[in-house]
Amino acid sequence: MAEQVLTMYLAGAIRDGVDEDIIWREHVIEALRRHPVRILNPLGGKTRDDKGNWTVSGVPSGARFITKHDIWYVKHSDIVLFNLRALSQGYPNIGTLVEFGAAVASGALIYVIVDPDYTGHNANMYKLHPFIAEFAAQTFDTTEQAVEFLKRHVNVISGRAPSFVEYQKEQRAQGYDVNSRPTLEEIAHRSR
């Protein structure tokens, strides 16, 4: 399989005056800069003036503009990373949840960052809401956990590191603990 550049959308709340909503996205962008992934950021090209008015690439940003662009981003993504931390902070995340449904419908790989103590739905029956548990390929407690996973995994799903043996060597070279897995020598010995 030839290496391909994957497209990933960063979905999550965008609340006025909440720096966390910007910072996590910038952290992901910077951490994956040298990896085979093109990142779509709903904050890209946006500015906010002193009165709280948003513009995108110099054009006033209204409801239609936001929803059309955000759903386009989702539909054109191989991966969607959802940050649902705002839910545990009492924010309804309506737009992000609509994007979640669109990502499920599009067949994108879905990864979710969600506070470990967030249940959001009948805590007596479920640790996570059933839709998160069912449709997320993986959930993470923190942005940093998601970033560390993606730094390693986008190389696999992009085709950059399809070989088990080569992946193991690469992970060892980067200092990751892979001692519980067979070494190249063990695999070569078994194949004789």
The contacts of residue 190 (CB under 8 Å, 6+ apart) are: 182
Distance in angstroms (rounded) separating the CA atoms of residues 45 and 54 = 10
DSSP H/E element including 111: strand 109-113
Distance in angstroms (rounded) separating the CA atoms of residues 151 and 155 = 7
pLDDT in tens, 144-160: 999 999 998 998 899 88
Q: What average pLDDT does the segment 79-102 reach? A: 95
pLDDT in tens, 46-85: 988 888 888 888 889 889 999 999 999 999 999 999 999 9
Give yes or no for residue 186 having a pLDDT over 60.
no
Nearest to 30 by CA among 162, 174, 143: 143
Distance in angstroms (rounded) separating the CA atoms of residues 39 and 28 = 9
Q: What average pLDDT does the segment 89-117 reach? A: 95
Percent of the chain topping pLDDT 70: 88
Sort 33 into a burial class: Cβ within 10 Å, 0-12 / 13-18 / 19+.
Answer: exposed
- CATH top-level class for 6-161? alpha beta
The 10 Å Cβ neighbour count of residue 74 is 23
Match 């390693």 to its residue by tokens: 152
136-153 as b/e: b if 16+ CB within 10 A: beebbeebeebbeebbbb
Sort 70 into a burial class: Cβ within 10 Å, 0-12 / 13-18 / 19+.
Answer: buried
36 touches 158 (CB < 8 A) = yes
Question: In angstroms, what is the C-alpha Rg of the chain?
Answer: 19
Give domain limits for the chain.
6-161, 164-192
